Amino acid sequence: MYLFFGMFLALSTLRRFALSAPLPELGLTPSSQDMEVMKSSAFQDAAENAHSLISKILIEIPAAHKSLIYTTTLSLEESDLSSLQFLKESLGLPQPSPLQPISDKFKLDLSLGRIVEGLKLHKTLLKVIGELSDSKSDKLKELLYDLRDALLHVHKMQQLIKAANGPDKVTESQLREDLAPKLKNQYLSQVATHLALIQLKQFTQDASRSLQNMIISPLESESQDS
Amino acid sequence: MALHWTTLHAVLWIILYLFPGNVQASPCAEVNSSSSLVPFGSPVTASCYIKDCQQQLEKKQDFLIKWKKNAHFIPSSKASKNNVNEILISNFTDTQVVLECLICDQNNCQVVGGVVIKAAYPPPAPQNLTCQLNLESVTLVCMWDPGIKTSDIPTNYTLYTQIRDASSPLKMHVVSPNENSFTVSRDWFPLFYEMQVYVEATNAFGQTKSNILVLDPMKTAKLDAPVIQGVGTQSFGCLEYIWALSRTQKWIKKFLHIELKLKSIKDKIHYKEQVSKPDSKVKVCGLLHGMSYESKIRVKYHNSSSWSEWSNSTVATTPMKAPTGRLVTWLKLLKPESKNQTAQLFWKPSSQFRPNSMNVLYTVSIMGSTKKKETVCVTDQLSCYFQIHAWVKKLYLTAINDAGKSNPTQVSVYKKREMDPVPFLKILPQTEATLSVKWKNPDTPAIRAYVLEWKPLCGTNSNYVSFENMDRNQTSFVISGLEPYMPYKISVYPTYGGGIGRPNSTLAYTKEKAPSISPKLEIGKITPSLVELSWDEIPLQQRNGIITGYRVFYRDEKNNTRVKDTERTTRHMIIKDLYPLTIYEMFLMTSTHNGSVNGSSIMVKTVSVDALEIVLIVIPACVGLALFFFGLCTCFIKQKWMKKYLWPVIPDPANSNIKKWTRADSLECIPPFKDVKDPALVYLSHVSLLSLPEKELSKGDDSIKSGNWPYNGKTVHAGPADSSHDSESFHSEQQSESVPYATVIFAEPYRRQPVPPPVYLRSESTQPLLGEEEPSSPRPYEEITSQVILSNIGHFSTSHNDLSAEEGRATLWGDFPMLRVDDTVKKILSLELASHSEKLRLREEELILKVQRHETDRNSTEVRVAMLTARIRNFKEHLQKHPKDKANKRWMLMSIDRRNKLLKYLRRSRYDAFEKVCAELGIIYTFPPEYYRRATKRWLVKKALCIKVFKEVQKQKAEKKNKALAQRKARSTSSNPAETQGTPV
């Protein structure tokens, strides 16, 4: 009986594999060419490292928030940002491009490009905000260094899949010019920092998810090989 | 060279004017050097400028400038000007040099100036650069060894770091002086990414770089102790763990090296190393079933990193299974004779036994009368007492746990007991915890195995019996795990084929010491002169060894100490020879092999002498004395009577009867004693005198008087010709009853003195001694040779077997024609005079003549047959005389066989010769019997069967052959046309 059951399972998986080729729009898995690169140990290593660092950033955000924001009304736990919507628009903080699960429409190189872009954006944003608000928090610096390191690894991944890097969304000087007059108000600078951190948190969560998808655990790869 | 010198001068002058600090001013001269501190091995120049020494050197117009280096003159170059002299030290190898400038004339030199120059190396390259990441503060601490310092010149270190990324700059960190480490902040190192680090050491003479260290800071980090979040189990012998990194390091999402330490209850520790991701499952297999393990985990980032601390421990138990494997058992029957016996069964797990759980129960069951197993014992111990019937032959021992039970171990009950024990058992302590046991084989092949049993006789586990089963070849064993000062009973039981022997047991200690206590003395009877003491045995727990003996010390009031010993078995003592009414202090000392202990002392006072006692002693003494005196008196009165009955009878030589019978006997045979004494002193060392009954003496007398000894008479008259006479004479000798009557042995008094011929002859023979031996009388064996010559033919006729042999001889000699001569010649040349071997040779020659091929033929087959025939006939003749001579019979049969062999060969090779030999020598050749086997019924049946089978097989073979033939024929007819087409391969 188990034999029959096993055979059924085997046959069904085979059919799935056989069917995945002609119906690419259904598959959430990356294309076979990307798969090959993804399986390489260097890519996996870089992805794991990047994932680790992004996890580190996620863990550090609350601490950074605590050290930077002393305005009691701005709490990280409060996910409702609707009341700050007006200020957000008026501040005009640059937004990262959204991340999507890897598919044929949203390929690996694009995903990595978006991650790089987002990381760079937040790095610049936090740097500028930190400079403008004269805060010398170690936690913020730590975040910036981690962002730098994460970028190193994502760059490495990009190199492995031979993807080109897009232009930076914002430059540091431009952003400084934009934000300098707005952040003279202490409250506004706090709000900007708060918003930037929340934005970073959301982005890193997405990035973490994307990277986790790129990491193939040995067990998973074995099952796929078979 | 000239150019070199000019440049040097130029340099010198420049230095002279540029560095006025280096100028050592002196009253009249200036000494300058290029530098007071120079790198090691570099050239150094110095100059001496005599400025204004006219005052001092007025008189010395001609002076020389010389240089001294560390108080030794060194050659200097020529003076460029009259008052300037420079020197070049091309290779400066000293750490410090004192250069002195001297002005010399013919007589003496004067130091006018000097300079001190020091040399130093560039700093040594920093060694062993290592960096370690501190994850808590996220800093990288780099350390290095400065290397061996060569000088005390200050050295500065600079640390360079660079992230190995094209865009990253090289960062220089200045290290504070006198420090060999630097903490790099987070700005300058990445995580999970490689960077390079090196240190540069700088001092006045140069700079050196250490090796470049390439590292991933994460690999140098020591992670915090991980956490085991959960343990579970789903399969037998396996445990599954979920683990995580500490809270602050949870962001590390990489595969890490982990090591699990599993400690079972039995203190066995397993280490399992794996690679796993945090927050994932780790499965550890190959563990014992039903065993609880205390697990700990530690982690490291990379192979080269250092391990973290061990985590908290978690206890988990693997799933249970039924016990497996055999148990080793040892059955002891305590009352062998009765119907219901008390049995004691001990067991222990064998090496294959696996309890597969932590709690195991054991059940002992017997096959009951209704063929059903009856459980007699359920226990968690390793032994059990129970009653079994005499008819029970087998017991079954089963281990049970919650998961099931093991296969029963069969224990057979021995029927025979009380068999021989092992003859010898020796126990030697080896260490404090081990005893070596040796025993001897009881010399029977029936021995199967031995059981060595040991148990402590006291202590907490005195009921715990340990045992070991050993095979028959083993005669020694080392028991370990024992405690010192504890008595152990060690027994060896031999196991025979059908039963078990009696034990040979010994009490032994691994180590002994003095007993813990000495027993208390108890006083029994006290009299004026003696005290009776007794004491109890020391309890076994307090003995600490085998007691060798007790010793009582007692001391009177005057401090006279005396000692009395007893054996170890006795526990009472009577101390005698004490003074009455005296206080004695006594104590007991108890000893083992390794020490002794003194008991508490007691005071004993002996009692005073009792009046009744005195009376009791005095009265018997008086009575005794009285009796003694009475006895003495009676002795003196009846002296004669005493003499007669109490004194021993001593023979009186004067009244000896010897004198009487020597005089009555033949005096002429024994010369008077006086005669002997006169000529010389003869020392008689041994005289044996024998008295004989008178009858016999008179007989002997007669024979002596007749002067005709049967022995002599025979030899003179008859003259023995052969050995039969000898025997006859001996016979007659035996008949004449010999009278041994004197044995006189003397020794020579002194050799140098002329000794006259002794009158008494020494004789040890039993013959009657004659006065003098006649030298002319011939001896029987001497006469044999002379008699042969003198003897006539009549001798032969007198020979007792001559007549009987006469007829046989006539027929015998008939075979030899050469010997057919007339009777007289025949008689003279009678072969009987020849020796036997001569006769044999003659016969041989006779036969050889008949068959030999030519005259000198001695070794042809025919001749050899003839020789053998002669020998065989000789043997035959001899055997007729002596039918019981087996040896010669054997020789004869051997000769016959050999002759048969030769004849067989001859018959085969040359038949005519064979026939001739047979005819000539009168041999009838019969063929040897053919090989014959007695036909038994069994053999006949077997043979018939064999024949039948053989026939059947032949028949079948023939059938097959026929079939094959027919087939081949059929084939050949059908395939003939095909064969023509191609050749088969």
Give the sheet arrangement for strand B239-244, strand by strand: B227-232, B239-244, B281-284
Please check whether residue B315 is in contact with residue B292, taking contact to mean a CB–CB distance below 8 angstroms. yes
Residue of chain B whose Cα is closest to the Cα of A138 = B186
Burial class (CB in 10 A: 0-12, 13-18, 19+), A136: exposed
Distance between CA B58 and CA B647 in Å, rounded?
149
The conformation of residue B617, written as its DSSP 8-state character, comes to: H
> Is A198 inside any structural domain?
yes
Burial class (CB in 10 A: 0-12, 13-18, 19+), A96: buried
> Is A21 inside any structural domain?
no
More confident residue, A12 or A49: A49
Distance between CA B237 and CA B319 in Å, rounded?
7
Distance from CA of residue B217 to its chain's centroid? 62
3-state secondary structure of B517: coil
Distance between CA B23 and CA B10 in Å, rounded?
17
Tokens 């996220």 found at: B138
CB contact under 8 A, A141 and B193: no
> To which H or E segment does residue B272 belong?
strand B269-276
CB contact under 8 A, B251 and A52: yes
Determine the residue among B191, B277, B280 to mutate to test chain A binding: the one whose Cβ has the most chain A Cβ atoms within 10 Å. B191
Distance between CA B673 and CA B691 in Å, rounded?
18
* Of residues B193, B250, B254, nearest to A48 (C-beta): B254
> Is A1 inside any structural domain?
no
Instruction: Please state the ipTM of this predicted complex.
Output: 0.79
Residue ranges of chain B whose pLDDT lies below 70: 1-27, 52-62, 76-82, 166, 335-338, 369, 638-833, 931-932, 975-985
Least confident of A33-37, A126-130, B179-183: A33-37
Which is nearest to B251 in space by CA: A119, A213, A54, A211?
A54
Please check whether residue B278 is in contact with residue B252, taking contact to mean a CB–CB distance below 8 angstroms. yes
Please check whether residue B423 is in contact with residue B442, taking contact to mean a CB–CB distance below 8 angstroms. yes
Determine the residue among A44, A45, A48, A212 to mutate to test chain B binding: the one whose Cβ has the most chain B Cβ atoms within 10 Å. A48
Measured from the Cβ of residue B441, the count of other Cβ atoms closer than 10 Å reads 15
Partners of A48 on chain B (C-beta within 8 Å) are 253-255
The pLDDT tens digits for A147-162 are 988 988 888 888 888 8
Distance between CA A91 and CA A181 in Å, rounded?
10
Please check whether residue B412 is in contact with residue B393, taking contact to mean a CB–CB distance below 8 angstroms. yes
CB contact under 8 A, B192 and A58: no
Partners of B192 on chain A (C-beta within 8 Å) are 49, 52-53, 149, 153
pLDDT, position B797? 39
Please check whether residue B172 is in contact with residue B158, taking contact to mean a CB–CB distance below 8 angstroms. yes
CB contact under 8 A, B187 and A141: yes
Q: What is the CA radius of gyration of chain A?
A: 21
Please check whether residue B397 is in contact with residue B362, taking contact to mean a CB–CB distance below 8 angstroms. yes
> Is A4 inside any structural domain?
no
Q: Residue type for B254, please?
A: K
Q: Structural domain of residue A122, as residue ranges?
A: 32-74+81-225
> Is A141 inside any structural domain?
yes
CB contacts < 8 A, A to B, total 47
* Of residues B186, B193, B253, nearest to A55 (C-beta): B253
Q: Which two three-digit tokens encode residue B750?
A: 């002194």
**Chain B residues touching chain A at CB-CB below 8 Å:** 138, 163, 165, 186-187, 190-193, 250-255, 277
Task: Calculate the alpha carbon distances from B286 to B262, B841, B871 in Å.
Answer: 12, 100, 93
Distance between CA B45 and CA B31 in Å, rounded?
11
Phi-psi region of B128 (alpha: psi -120 to 50; beta: other; left: phi over 0): left
CA torsion sign for A105, A108, A113, A114 is positive
Burial class (CB in 10 A: 0-12, 13-18, 19+), B62: exposed
Phi and psi at residue B970, in whole multiples of 5°? Answer: -60, -45
CATH of residue A135: 1.20.1250.10
Partners of A148 on chain B (C-beta within 8 Å) are 190
> To which H or E segment does residue B87 belong?
strand B84-89
Measured from the Cβ of residue B180, the count of other Cβ atoms closer than 10 Å reads 17
In this structure, what is the dihedral angle of CA atoms B226, B228, B229, B235, given to the nearest 10 degrees?
A: 140
> To which H or E segment does residue B602 belong?
strand B602-605
Distance between CA A65 and CA A58 in Å, rounded?
11
Kindly write down the DSSP assignment for every residue of B190-233, as one continuous string.
Answer: -SSS-EEEEEEEEETTEEEE-PPEEE-HHHH--PPP-EEEEEE-
CB contact under 8 A, A152 and B165: yes
Distance between CA B67 and CA B78 in Å, rounded?
12
For B786, residues 6+ apart whose C-beta sits below 8 A from its C-beta are: none
The conformation of residue B707, written as its DSSP 8-state character, comes to: T
Report the domain count for chain A: 1
pLDDT, position B944? 94
The pLDDT tens digits for B900-946 are 999 999 999 999 999 999 998 888 888 877 766 777 899 999 999 99
Q: Which two three-digit tokens encode residue B7?
A: 């440049």
CB contact under 8 A, B187 and A59: no
Distance between CA B271 and CA B293 in Å, rounded?
12
Distance between CA B451 and CA B30 in Å, rounded?
106
pLDDT, position B412? 83
> To which H or E segment does residue A66 belong?
helix A41-68
> Is A14 inside any structural domain?
no
Distance between CA A126 and CA A119 in Å, rounded?
11
Distance between CA B564 and CA B576 in Å, rounded?
10
> Is A163 inside any structural domain?
yes
> Is A87 inside any structural domain?
yes
The conformation of residue B292, written as its DSSP 8-state character, comes to: E
Which is nearest to B583 in space by CA: B612, B611, B613, B554?
B554
